[in-house]
Amino acid sequence: MELYSIYNVIYNVAFYFKGTEVFNPTSLTTFLLIATAVVLALFALQGYGLYRMGKNRGMSKCFLAFIPFANFYFMGKLAGKCTFFGREMKGAHVYAMVAQAVTYVCCILMVIAEIYLSKFDFSYDVTTGLLVPTSLTGAATGVYTAYDIGGWFLSVIELVSTILTFVLIIALYKSYNAKNYMILSMLYLFVPFSRYIVIPVLCNNPAVNYDEYVRKQREEYYRRHQQQSPYGQYGNPYQPPYGNPYQPPYNSGYGQSTPTSQAQPQDPFDEFSSAENDAPKGEGQSGGGEDEFFS
C-alpha cells in the first residue's frame, strides 16, 4: 500500500501544478516507476534492519528479510508472541503477509487501470474534484466500473492489512524497545513509513522477553518504593516502627494482660482501703475484714 500511497502523492502534486494534462499513459507510468524506486529503497533499508536482528540472534534464513511479503513472515519470527486486545493472536505474521500481498496486487491493478483509462477523454468536475469520463466505449466501460468498485475494496483490504501489520509491529517493538514500544507503535499507526526507519535504528538492540521485562520493572519499583518509605527499614511499610500508637496503656478488660509496670487507675477511696489492710485483725474480723467505721 506504500506503493500506491507514494504514487498518489506524486500524481496529486503533478496534477496541482499541471492539471489534467498529467492524466496520460506516459506521465502515469513515470509516476509509477518513481514510486516503485522509492519503495524499493525503503524496503532495502527495512530489510537490512530485519537481517541484522536475525543475525544478532543467530537465526537461520535471514535472507527472508529482503524478499517481498516473506519479510513479514520473518518479522513475525523475530517478534514472537503477538497479542490483540489482550488475547494471543497465533499466525499473525502469516495473516499480515497474505494481507500485504493482496493489497499490493490490488494497488498494481488499480494503477494499471488508471493508465489504461487515461487514453480516453476525461473532464474535471470542480464540485467533486474528480475526473469524469466523457467518452468510454466497449471494454473501457467495464474497466472503469471495476476501477470504481476496486477503490472501495482496496480501502477495506488496506484497513485489514494495516491492523494486522500494526499487531505485528507492536510485538516486534516490544522485543526490541520495551520501554517505548507504545510510542513507536502509535507512530507507525499514524505514519506507516516510520517503520522503514525505526526498524534499522533498533536492529542492534538486544531482544528481550517483554513479560520478564515487566516483572523486573515491577520488582524494581516496589524495591525503590520501600527504600524511600520511612517505615521500609522495619520490614512492613505499613506497620509503624513503635507498635500501635492507639493501644491503651492499661488492661481494657477484653483479655489483654496488663504489664506489671503499669498501675491500675487510682481509686478515690484508696486511702481507706490501705488503712483497712494495714489495721490489725481483731475478734470477729474475717480475713477480708469489715469496715471499722461501720462495725
**Residues 136-179: tens digit of each pLDDT:** 878 888 888 898 898 899 889 989 999 999 999 999 999 999 88
**Each residue of 247-280: pLDDT tens digit?**
555 554 544 444 444 445 555 545 544 444 554 4
Residue whose grid cell is 467518452: 135
In a domain, 81, yes or no: yes
100, burial (CB in 10 Å: exposed 0-12, middle 13-18, buried 19+): buried
In a domain, 244, yes or no: no
> In the prediction, which pLDDT does 135 show?
78
Instruction: Report the predicted TM-score, pTM, of the whole model to 2 decimal places.
Output: 0.69
In a domain, 265, yes or no: no
In a domain, 239, yes or no: no
Query: HSE of 276 in the Cβ direction (CA atoms, 13 Å)?
Result: 16
In the chain, what percentage of residues exceed pLDDT 90? Answer: 39
Q: Name the domain count of the chain.
A: 1
In a domain, 232, yes or no: no
Between CA 64 and CA 60 the distance in angstroms is 9
In a domain, 182, yes or no: yes
pLDDT at residue 292 greater than cutoff 80: no
Q: Which residue range forms the structural domain that includes residue 73? A: 2-214
